[in-house]
Amino acid sequence: MHSILERKKQLAAFMAVAIKGGVRDRVLGAMVVVGLILLLTTPVVALFSMRQVLALATSYSLSIISLMGLLLTLFIAMGLLARDLEQRQVYTICSLPISRATYLLGKFLGFAIVIFLAVAILGCFSAGALFVLERIHPAERAFAWGGFFIGLWFQYWVLLIVGAITILFSTVATSNFLPLALSVGIYLGSYSSEAVHYFVRTAAGQKELGAAVRLFGNVVYWILPNFSAFDLKAQIIYGVALNGRELLLTQLYAVGYLGVVLLLATLAFARREFF
């Protein structure tokens, strides 16, 4: 019992350190500034489409949140271990009776809280801009606010998975460039892996592609996260009803994939030699 309580205290301590690191880097303040810019520019951008003002504004807002969230995720996730390695704090931590899994999980949970706050800030500013536009340019059908916030929620999970992947690469890499390059590559590839997988299975794909290429496409599809399943932008814009079963399966997939990546990161970090 005492061991469990002690581990919880250690976990909370590492979470607090990660959160303080994000605040010290003025991450949340930067998100407020970006949110204000998003609030002011969304109505201007939306005017480029007089017939689909709200649709364009929604697409623009979600795209900006996705882009800023990705940049923020990479910036914070790469610094979680790199900062401790540069300052040699990890050497002290590893010499103490503290589990490396507790250290890594605590850091990740702190990162998750910072990212959640950033997405929440941007989402609130974006929702404010969309609310104003909905009043100024009323559409034929009511805006799908529920779908909008569900879309933000799944964007948040995309960022969590990208952050976990970045941390995984950081546990084995000796430089910051490799985790950055691999994480960006996986992020971009994960949005097209499903389309490639479907093409490989079509008659045209069977005819045009060799067996090795088809096998490679299938392997990549099963390894990379399927981020296209998290993208609800089209459903939100066009008011398509969301399927509760599909949303539940997507959430379970996100939790499972994140768990596997964190497990691999923990195993890799436990085997890394610091002395």
C-alpha span between 75 and 90 (Å, rounded): 19
Q: Tokens for 77?
A: 């996730």
Q: Tokens for 188?
A: 């971009």
**Which pLDDT belongs to residue 90?**
66
Which backbone phi and psi does 271 adopt, to 5 degrees?
A: -95, -5
Number of domains in the chain: 1
Mean pLDDT, residues 78-107: 75
Residues in Cβ contact with 178 at an 8 Å cutoff, skipping those fewer than 6 apart: 169
Cβ distance 172 to 268 under 8 Å? yes
For residue 153, tell me if it sits in a domain: yes
pLDDT exceeds cutoff 90 at 63: no
For residue 225, tell me if it sits in a domain: no
Query: Of the spans 92-106, 121-135, 158-172, 234-248, which averages the highest pLDDT?
Result: 158-172
pLDDT-derived band at 100 (thresholds 50, 70, 90) equals confident
Query: Of the spans 13-17, 69-73, 77-81, 217-221, which averages the highest pLDDT?
Result: 69-73
C-alpha span between 223 and 221 (Å, rounded): 6
Range of the domain at 121: 2-191+231-271
For residue 210, tell me if it sits in a domain: no
For residue 209, tell me if it sits in a domain: no
For residue 226, tell me if it sits in a domain: no
Q: How many CB atoms lie within 10 A of CB 131?
A: 12
pLDDT exceeds cutoff 60 at 12: yes
**Which pLDDT belongs to residue 253?**
95
Mean pLDDT, residues 205-232: 77
For residue 175, tell me if it sits in a domain: yes
For residue 205, tell me if it sits in a domain: no
**Which pLDDT belongs to residue 242?**
86
Q: What is the DSSP string of 76-95?
A: HHHHHHHHHHHTTHHHHHHH
Between 249 and 189, where is the model more confident? 249
Query: pLDDT, tens digit, for every residue of 253-267?
Result: 999 999 999 999 999
**Which pLDDT belongs to residue 150?**
93
For residue 34, tell me if it sits in a domain: yes
